[in-house]
């Protein structure tokens, strides 16, 4: 077993849909696990905007790379029997139904451990498995609103704003992966599986923790920021610039040419401008003056000059601009992966630790919905005639399989 693929001997049965659960199990696959994604007959609901039936989108690519996909009607008796066979040989079981739904299908933790006592079982939900909100539908923006993230993000804007980068889902995915990894280590040491109640609300709480602590320590307000801390327009774009203390402010002044207006007594000492409010009085006046000076040069020029003086700054890119940054390209941060059902390569960043994700390798491909249905059924003891019968009855479905080279 390669050191970079420590989960190579694991089989994961993945019933999760959406983003958090699939991303976590995708990481298990990237570290070597055989992940069987069990989808409903039409595929994961995130496949709906795909270019072809049962196809891929950018989100399903990032969530399903390296997995195998089988589409099964779990509401049917024969579909449930298929899942029971999969569960019997699995190390991990992951589901993301609303609380109680998986039990009605016959695959609660008790049901699954009756088949496989040592399994690691994870439920990924919005608000957790208990409590007054447990059955509420939830997605990333709902948790952003509920947890305070929208409000804190809009503190220096014109009101609460949603972060479109799905931070709650992504953090929940990382928490799920880390919890599964720890549980698998515990199983190796103690020989016992476990149940994991994982939810987006917990991820949102951690994302909002810094702002929560600041408000509790400052009578309900966020701590004032340094005066020169934020985004500024340049001649051709925008730059983020931060001067955290007197020393860094002196370096910023040097880059700006030690304009005599920056040396006015009302701007001294620099640290005093932080209180009580960072964007009123002398603080606001100084920000306006710096903004005026930055308009005289290009973003690239300012970034080069500030970096030469060890000042924290960066161009304010959009996501495509970030992808095309020379530093990002030189690091090889993204691999452009060819995917079934998508007419252009999809950029995917590498993960820490495992072998690089190379285009065309097994770990790089996100299968079409049900692409592996026939093969998986055969491996679990179904004859060709039985597979044909199940397909004809609609108990399982299959789209054109993805092709990939072995890694």
> Binning pLDDT at 50, 70 and 90, where does residue 1 land?
low
Average pLDDT over residues 299-324: 96
Q: 3-state DSSP call for residue 18?
A: coil
Give the DSSP per-residue string, 161-213. Answer: ---TT-HHHHHHHHHHHHHHHHHHHHHHHHS--EEEEEEHHHHHHHHTHHHHH
Alpha-carbon span 21 to 175, nearest angstrom: 10
pTM equals 0.91
Beta carbons within 10 angstroms of residue 139's beta carbon? 15
Cα atoms in the Cβ-side hemisphere of radius 13 Å centred on 264: 10
SS3 category, 251: helix
Domains of the chain: 11-209+333-397 (3.40.50.10540), 229-319 (3.30.1540.10)
Quick check: 16 pLDDT over 90?
yes
Closest Cα partner for 105 from 74, 84, 69, 151?
Answer: 74
Instruction: Assess whether pLDDT exceeds 60 at residue 402.
Output: no
Distance between CA atoms of 57 and 65, rounded to whole angstroms?
12
Report phi then psi at 315, rounded to 5.
-65, 145
Per-residue burial over 219-258, b = 16 or more CB atoms within 10 Å of its CB, e = otherwise: eeeeebbbbbbbebebeeeebebbbeeeebbeebbebbee
CA 291 → CA 119, 120, 157, 309, distances in Å?
A: 59, 55, 17, 19
Strands of 229-233's sheet in order across: 229-233, 238-242, 312-315
pLDDT in tens, 160-198: 888 888 999 999 999 999 999 999 999 999 999 999 999
User: What strands, in cross-sheet order, belong to the sheet with 68-72?
Assistant: 194-199, 120-125, 92-95, 11-14, 34-39, 68-72, 396-397
pLDDT tens across 81-140, in order? 999 999 999 999 999 999 999 999 999 999 999 999 999 999 999 999 999 999 999 999
For residue range 227-278, what is the model confidence (pLDDT) as tens digits?
999 999 999 999 999 999 999 999 999 999 988 999 999 998 988 886 555 5
Q: Using an 8 Å Cβ cutoff, are 72 and 107 in contact?
A: no
Question: Would the pLDDT of 281 be above 50?
Answer: yes
- 400, exposed or middle or buried, with CB in 10 Å at 0-12, 13-18, 19+? middle
Asked if omega into 269 is within 30° of 0 (cis), the reply is yes
Helix axes 167-190, 200-207, angle to 10 degrees: 110
Query: Residues 350-392: pLDDT tens digits?
Result: 998 878 889 989 999 999 999 999 999 999 999 999 999 999 9
SS3 82: helix
pLDDT at position 405 is: 47
How do residues 199-241 score in pLDDT, each as one tens digit? 999 999 999 999 889 888 888 877 778 899 999 999 999 999 9
Among 89, 123, 116, which residue's Cα sits nearest to residue 9? 89
């Amino acid at each position: 077993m390669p050191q970079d693929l420590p989960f190579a001997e694991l089989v994961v049965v993945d019933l999760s849909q959406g983003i958090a659960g699939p991303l976590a199990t995708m990481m298990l696959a990237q570290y070597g696990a055989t992940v069987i994604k069990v989808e409903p007959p039409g595929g994961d609901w995130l496949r709906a905007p795909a270019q072809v039936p049962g196809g891929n989108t950018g989100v399903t690519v990032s969530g399903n790379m390296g997995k195998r996909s089988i589409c099964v009607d779990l509401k049917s008796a024969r579909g449930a029997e298929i899942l029971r066979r999969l569960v019997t040989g699995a190390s991990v079981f992951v589901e993301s139904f609303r609380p109680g739904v998986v039990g009605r299908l016959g695959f609660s933790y008790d049901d699954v451990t009756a088949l496989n006592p040592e399994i690691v079982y994870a439920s990924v939900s919005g608000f957790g498995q208990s409590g007054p909100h447990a059955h509420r539908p939830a997605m990333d923006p709902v948790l952003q609103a509920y947890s305070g993230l929208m409000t804190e993000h809009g503190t220096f804007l014109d009101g609460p704003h949603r972060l479109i980068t799905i931070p709650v889902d992504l953090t929940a995915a990382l928490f799920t992966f880390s919890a599964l990894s720890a549980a698998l280590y515990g199983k190796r040491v103690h020989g016992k599986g476990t149940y994991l109640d994982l939810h987006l609300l917990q991820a949102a709480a951690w994302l909002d923790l810094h702002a929560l602590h600041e408000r509790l320590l400052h009578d309900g307000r966020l701590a004032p920021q340094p005066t020169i801390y934020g985004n500024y327009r340049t001649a051709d774009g925008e730059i983020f610039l931060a001067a955290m203390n007197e020393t860094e402010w002196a370096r910023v002044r040097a880059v700006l040419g030690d304009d005599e207006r920056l040396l006015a007594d009302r701007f001294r000492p620099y640290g005093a401008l932080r209180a009580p409010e960072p964007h009123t009085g002398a603080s606001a006046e100084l920000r306006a003056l710096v903004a005026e000076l930055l308009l005289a040069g290009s973003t690239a020029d300012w970034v080069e000059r500030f970096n030469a003086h060890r000042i924290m700054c960066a161009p304010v890119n959009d996501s495509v601009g970030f992808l095309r940054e020379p530093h990002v390209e030189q690091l090889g941060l993204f691999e452009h992966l060819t995917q079934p059902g998508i007419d252009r390569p999809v950029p995917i960043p590498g993960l820490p630790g495992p072998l690089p994700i190379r285009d065309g390798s097994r770990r790089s491909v996100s299968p079409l919905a049900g692409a592996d249905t026939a093969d998986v059924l055969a491996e679990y003891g179904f004859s060709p005639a039985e597979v044909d019968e199940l397909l004809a009855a609609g108990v399982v479905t299959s789209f054109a399989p993805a092709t990939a080279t072995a890694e």
